[in-house]
Structure 1
């Protein structure tokens, strides 16, 4: 069981979340914090991977003292500056990448960051909040089917980050399809709220994923020599997949926009139809209201005022005749 599953409070004493020594054949053995301090490869092909809690006190100083990482780089690796970026520093690769937050109660657009440093013999990854990608790669190593060297380890982490992004995009597309299938029976206000949420998620993911695309290009083009050609090809494939996902986000955003416009057009049409019916009804009763109001004023010489009960029926008949004439006229004019 990987101790990444533990809470941050349980790691106050040690910054190490887990450690593995890659055997160069797809497997790995666990390594503790004390052994990792002075680790040296016992045979060719071994690579040290330690996954650290970057908020632990002293991590920045340890990176500078033990790994000889320059102070600005160590500060970057432990800071809250999470915008994706990557660069080469001598024979070391430094990168900040982002992944989808699948922790309970989190929204897809709440991206989590992971910092990566490697000199080809050692790989250090750092995180603040729990991220599932390192666990997945570690499980592959424990199962003997993981990466074989530092370059493939960085590539595996990148691939898992991008692969999990696709899940959020697929979920949003499924939600759009569901809304399209149920628009007739749904509450328009509730549906518009769901569409607005989807559009916000698309914009947030696009804002976070676009810099990641640039960071992967920087890794592919500027990584040190230990990052081999097959690793660069894998990164190039990841870049292409990420580009497709960005295009899918644009399509999802446009689909949500079209659906939102359609819902608003339907709501506007319903409102106009209701207003039209009310206008026709008001037009029909306007002359009748005028006649009854005119005959109801309290002045002398009102027609039929002395006609008794016959006056009521005469006025009622007159109003009925006017109503029939109005209806026939409106139908002839095709107003309804």
Structure 2
């Protein structure tokens, strides 16, 4: 099954979406909500990871009572203030991060929040809407190839979040390249709508990814001592990749602007060319229309009216001569 289709094993009666007990060697075993209550490390390197539904009733109270979190911190982890940020609180790390929404029917700019708390022995992540990043890390643990400690678990989560951001950026760049290769668009309005959507996505992604860059920098610089040097190096690498993605977003946005201006310029040129042709045609037929209109009025003494068919051909010849003179004159003026 594709990772994008995996879902949390959610029990509507419990806040726990899933839990893992890391063994310190890259593997983990399942842990249930009841066993997690009052958990203490059984041996060196054992880490508890709980992934919770933050909108479940009683989650904030559980954070305060079982983990001893201050009320403002518990409110931050369960609230709707989801702007990316991170800070150290004693020997604990608190963070709010954002990830791309790959749920069916969602747009890339509909980013989802992932709240995180850790004291080095326990890691608690919380989400509102389904987010596949925690499940991907859990799959690595189940395969015995996951993170070994709390710091590595946090870096793995951030790496997956950033990796999935790159997919959205690559998809947008592919659409821009396809539009740039279409030199003869059939429907400029449709193309302009696509470009506007791309620009809107770029702006929305950057609005969330820029503070995420600051949050990761805060983790790298201010995390507690249990967040080891190699974890800080991994976070620094994630920060560098995120910086590159932000630059890619700027390039994508500028490319979309250039493409938008080009399409509008082509449409304006086509409109001007059409108006020019219409003006030339109108100029050519204006004298002819005047003559035919003058001779077609229903009054007496119309010239050539008594000449019969000879009068008709005289008028036709006169109009033809006027047309020929106009064509020669327009060519001499290089109007066409």
TM-score of the pair, normalised by structure 1 = 0.96
Which residue is equivalent to 1:100?
100
Cα contact 2:99–2:162 (8 A) shared by 1: yes
Cα separation, 1, equivalents of 2:230 and 2:59: 32
User: What corresponds to 2:332 in structure 1?
Assistant: 332
Deviation at 1:247, TM superposition (A): 0.4
1:35 alignment counterpart:
35
For 1:101 and 1:85, how far apart are their aligned partners in 2? 19
1:17: which partner in 2? 17
| Matching residue of 1:304 | 304
Cα distance in 2 between the residues matched to 1:334 and 1:186: 30
Aligned to 2:152: 152
Q: How does 1:200-211 map to 2 (within 5 A)?
A: 200-211=200-211
Residue 297 of structure 1 and its aligned partner are, at CA, apart by: 2.6
Residue 320 of structure 2 aligns with which residue?
320
Equivalent-residue separation in structure 2 for 1:5 and 1:277 (angstroms): 61
Aligned-partner SS, 1:13: coil
Give, in whole Å, the separation in 2 of the partners of 1:328 and 1:65.
95
Residue in 2 that maps onto 1:279: 279
* Residue 185 of structure 1: how far off its partner (Å): 4.3
1:175 aligned residue = 175
User: Which blocks of at least 5 consecutive residues in structure 1 are unaligned?
Assistant: none
1:5 and 2:7 aligned:
yes
Alpha-carbon distance in structure 1 between the residues aligned to 2:217 and 2:22: 26
Asked if structure 2 preserves the Cα contact closer than 8 Å seen for 1:183 and 1:191, the reply is no
How much is the aligned-residue C-alpha RMSD, in angstroms?
1.5
1:192-250 Cα shifts (integer Å, max 9, x gaps): 11111111111111111111011111111111111111111111111110000000001
Which segment is superposed worse, 150-159 or 180-189? 180-189
Counterpart secondary structure, 1:125: strand
**Aligned partners of 1:84 and 1:238: how far apart in 2?**
15
Task: Report the TM-score, using the length of structure 2 for normalisation.
Answer: 0.96
Q: Is 2:218 aligned against 1:226?
A: no
**Superposition map of 1:235-314 within 5 A:** 235-314=235-314
The whole-number CA distance in structure 2 between the counterparts of 1:147 and 1:309 is 101
Displacement after TM superposition at 1:190 (Å): 1.1
CA shift for structure 1 position 6: 4.5
Once residues 143 and 124 of structure 2 are traced to their aligned partners in structure 1, the CA distance between those partners, rounded to angstroms, is 21
**1:84 counterpart residue number:** 84
Q: Hey, what does 2:215 align to over in structure 1? A: 215
Give, in whole Å, the separation in 1 of the partners of 2:265 and 2:290.
37
- Which deviates further from its counterpart, 178-187 or 159-168? 178-187
Q: Which runs of 5+ in 2 are unaligned?
A: none
- Tell whether 2:118 aligns with 1:118: yes
Q: How far did 1:177 drift?
A: 1.0
